[in-house]
Structure 1
């Protein structure tokens, strides 16, 4: 077999291993959907009428706010999945599994790739649950099949980028507890962007941050694709952010994996 074939085979083995472990620890998968669903219900049913009225829609604003908030909830779910990925990697480090893999005759890229692809699969499964609940509470997207595919692709790319970053975080921490705390800023970013309220309503300093942080263009692109509004330039800004985060996460994760001594 060629080197590429061996790497793909080893990566598939690592992916199966991570998916089986996910089945044994369903809590790490459920957090991808559970927390965003709770936030969705809270913002729609408790705050949606008031917040939605500010969007200028009828019926108390709640239907309009559902359409507005769902893209932010989906990005929040991806950020929550990054925390679970970091925890899973840190568990492998703490238990010595990463060190054992380093001594085995397997492709080095396969270990990290298995974690990343497994994280994307888990996150996308959680997003399906979130979308289903959103439809139940009144989300009525205007997306065409092509726009749905584009939205799914953007969600997958965002998940891929954050997966590499969270794998690097898991490799960089000494304890599982530290790994659970390190991705917390990612979970907060949707709140300090356009995920829950328009950035135009924010004070000047916070508005500047919201407009220039990575999640805002992702959310705006998703909102445009799902609700039929103009996407504008946000799609390529979102793509650039995802590519940059993925590259930084990959280089960081590879450096930490190569540096960590075998036990």
Structure 2
């Protein structure tokens, strides 16, 4: 079904039930567009991939000797799962920047005028970022292994940990697309990104909630990033997964619940916002 915008002359194309193949093809075309953009300008993605490694080296080598883990254990093994979680969360900025740049340059309006699935642009952006996230995970895991991190569980548990990390990443990507469509300008992305840092540092990514002041430890235990970090540490068999609060004891449940709730909110809101552009 095609709908014409009388004010701007743009057309949006809404998917019919039989258009699944066309939707998948359009989404893959948009994904390939992102790959081509990375190939033309590899510096940005490269910095994004290496930034978590730099943080890992700084915390593991410079601060690791003074850090303790509740219940004992090696701090590097505690740190790597937490930093993997932050790597998934910090991708929010890159997604927002790409969306706002396309929006500001009118690229999204041009795509909306083409005979293509209306949400393929957003899906292509998300798939490309998710593939980049897999590369980021592998790089951080390799760097952690070089610094002494090891996983001690089964292969199935390790794959489940990676699945939780990618689920969190998918939720953050959906939020990034939605927020990017809302803020509209690249210079406003930093204002949103600044809000992510307090959320990251009030989690259990770098320190055990047991080592924090009572009120801050309670906040950290209920932080969505802490839920994923605790569940991933448990699945990898790394120290720091134990806890006495309900949130700590049910971290795996919360690590699935929080991202799913974010996806259920952000995905339809992003699609609705995209369809309403230039109206």
Whether the TM-score (by the shorter chain) exceeds 0.5 is yes
Please say if residues 174 and 267 of structure 2, whose CA atoms lie closer than 8 Å, have aligned partners that are also in contact: yes
Flag structure 2 segments of 5+ consecutive residues without an equivalent: 1-16, 243-248
Separation (CA, whole Å) in 1 of partners of 2:65 and 2:274:
49
Matched, 1:22 2:32: no
| Cα distance, 1:96 vs structure 2 | 0.6
Separation (CA, whole Å) in 2 of partners of 1:30 and 1:249:
27
Separation (CA, whole Å) in 1 of partners of 2:199 and 2:143:
23
Flag structure 1 segments of 5+ consecutive residues without an equivalent: none
**Equivalent residues, number:** 256
* CA-based RMSD: 2.0
Please say if residues 190 and 196 of structure 1, whose CA atoms lie closer than 8 Å, have aligned partners that are also in contact: no
Q: 1:228 to 1:35 in 2, by over 3 A?
A: closer
Task: State the partner residue of 1:247.
Answer: 264
Matched, 1:134 2:144: yes
Match of 2:83 among 69, 73, 78: 73
Runs (4+) off by over 6 Å: none
Structure with bigger helix share is: 1
Max radius of gyration: which structure?
2
Q: 1:19 to 1:150 in 2, by over 3 A?
A: same
Match of 1:101 among 107, 111, 117: 111
Match of 1:121 among 128, 131, 142: 131
Matched, 1:186 2:203: no
Matched, 1:36 2:52: yes
| Cα distance, 1:228 vs structure 2 | 5.6
Task: State the partner residue of 2:62.
Answer: 46
Matches within 5 A, 1:146-161: 146-161=156-171
SS in 2 for 1:106: coil
TM-score, normalization by structure 2: 0.85
TM-score, normalization by structure 1: 0.90
More off after superposition, 203-212 vs 120-129: 203-212
